[in-house]
Every structure is written in C-alpha cells, then in structure tokens.
Amino acid sequence: MSRLNLDDFTDLIERPDGGVRRDAEARRERQNVPPGALGRLDELGEWLAAAQSAVPVRPIDRPRVILFAGDHGVAELGVSARPAGGARELVRAVLEGASPVSVLARRQEVPVRIVDMALDCAPDAFPEDVVRHRVRRGSGRIDIEDALTLDEAEAALRAGIAVADEEADSGTDLVVLGDISVGGTTAAAVLIAALCGTDASVVTGRGGLAIDDLAWMRKCAAIRDALRRARPVLGDQLQLLATVGGADLAAMTGFLLQCAVRKLPVILDGVVAAACALVGQRIAFRAPDWWLAGHDSGEPGQAKALDRMALEPLLEQGVQIGEGAGAVLALPLVRSAAALAAELPERPEPEKEPESEPRNEPEKRPEEPTE
C-alpha cells in the first residue's frame, strides 16, 4: 500500500463558493422578511447556498447519519461509565432501533449507517455492511502503547475516505457525523489537548454517562500519560492518530476531509467528531468551512476544539449521550433554514411612474402689423 500523502488535501479542498454566498445574501435582502429577523437561520441558508453552489438553496432531501464504531483499550482503566469493550451493545441497540439516535432519526425519516472500525467482538457479530471496513479488533491502550500501527492508521483513514465517496456517489446531500465508542472521549481529549497545547485537566470531561470523581481522576491521569506520548509526533497527523487516536477516529478524520473534497456538508456531533475535525483542520485549513457544529455536549474538550475552528454550536440542549443524537436534533434547524431561504417570496419591485411627455404647444404665428 503506497503511503498516503495528507498534504494533497490542502490542494484538493476548496472553500464554499463565495460568489454564490454573496448572491444568496443579495436575495435575502430582497425577501419580504427583514434581514436579521430570522437570526442564525439566515446565516445557515447562506452557508448552504455556498456549499451547494446554488441560489435558491435546494432542499435537504437525502441526509444520512453516519456513526463510526470502535472500542478503545484505555477503557480498561475505568475511565468510562460503560464497561471496556461494551460498544458492541450500543451498536446492537442502534441496529435494533432502540437507541436515542434511532428514535430521532426514525422520526425524521433519516437512515442511519454504522461503520465498524475496531469493535472488540468477532466480525460475524454484525452484518457485512457494518463490518466490511473494520481495521482491527479494539484499539491499543494509548497511555502506554500506540492505538494502531502506522499501516492500520492509514487503512482506517482510507476507509473513511471510501465511506465519504460512497455517500457522495449515492446522492447523500448532508451528513450527521457521530461515533459509537467506549473510551473514545478519552482519545479525543488527548488529540484536542495536544493540538491546542493545553493540559489534561482542561479537556477532561465526564463522558455521556457522567462518571464520578474517582473515574474522572483516572481519566485525567490517562490523558496526561497519553499526552506525553502524543507531543513528540505532533508534526505528523497520521502518526498522531496511530499513537493516541484509534481506528474509528482515524476513519472519521479521513471521512471529514473527503467530504470537504466532495463538497458534502457535515454536521458534527460531540467531542469525538470535534477532535477528528481538529485533526482535519491541521491537515487542510479550509476543511472546516464545510462543517457545522450540531450542539454543545458540555464536554470541555469539544468547546476547546470548536473554539479553535471558529465553529459555534447550533443547539445547547445538554445532550451528553453521544452516538449522533445531539447533532440529529440540529438537522430540522438546517432543513428549516434551507426551506426559508428558498421559499420566502421576494418583495415586488415598486412600479415606476411613467414619465410625462411634454405637451406640444400650438405654434404661435407672428402678429400681423395693423394698418
């Protein structure tokens, strides 16, 4: 396998069309609701116009939820409220329609796709379309060992690229991106702390099920130890993902970058998606222009990453469960912005009064001289 050159993404990724965005802004000025009266919906509509290169905006007809799944060896330290290797149960709940994201997506008639990258279970535990991109069984314990080999990290990143191409080729017009993992928020916090140059305590959150103080301290210590291993490889993003990331995080990074190449907009879910986006930004600085932050999960690492990318969450509902649920809640907002931008009528042009024609005065004859 030839080594992947991540620098190519810098040349391949273009910004959304600025000229189209200006056209969308001008159209908004002509609509019969005053500009600014719809708040961030105006901004969202203009962003979508630029991303689609279309005025008026096309409706979001074929969105999809994509969830990358994996188990992380660091979960053995008790850094999560869920048991190590327990991500397979979360995947099963989604497939059976019994998880929050399943309920929300079903209500909005949005399909959910799960991509197993490193679940700690036999590959035959799930259908072929779920497991066909799997790189390995579980990722390494990042406080003492690499999450992946360099070849595995590249294979995972390539898998994410392939999934993005599959979605773009199938007509998906918007992606809600999330993860299903146990220990994933720990790896995400390490990436964010390393890339933002901050300490472990600043980015250590309590996860989706709110771990207690002792678990938080164990998590903080694991992040601190992994950070020591991450800092020497900060200049090489693929090596960074191999050292302290994981197969699911590497795949999400490749997926995000290729979505930007294919001009496919993405709504990011929680801290794991934010961490992968931050790695993507380091690889290709224009890539975040194609992404939206769906919601504020309350994780300090997510807030740090979004601030670095200048992305403001669309919603603040306190949803901490992960698995794409918070970002799915933002989807109706984005669809509403598209509908308003496209369907609000424009003000009629004021009718011009016809110019009055000058009256033709009767020609005066010279007076005849009197005798």
The catalytic residue positions are 323
* 295 secondary structure, DSSP code: B
In 3D, which of 123, 47, 58 has the Cα closest to residue 290?
A: 47
- Partners of residue 68 on adjacent β-strands: 115, 179
Contact 154, 4 (CB under 8 A): yes
* 73 secondary structure, DSSP code: G
In 3D, which of 270, 304, 263, 365 has the Cα closest to residue 52?
A: 263
Contact 147, 139 (CB under 8 A): yes
| Those residues with Cβ within 8 angstroms of residue 195's Cβ, 6 or more apart along the chain or in another chain | 234, 278, 279, 282, 305, 308
Contact 218, 207 (CB under 8 A): no
Structure tokens, 310? 């200048």
Q: In what order do the strands lie in the sheet with 174-182?
A: 112-118, 63-71, 174-182, 266-268, 291-293
Q: Where are the alpha helices (DSSP H) in the chain?
A: 8-12, 18-30, 40-52, 87-95, 100-107, 128-131, 150-170, 184-196, 200-203, 213-230, 237-244, 247-261, 271-283, 300-309, 325-343
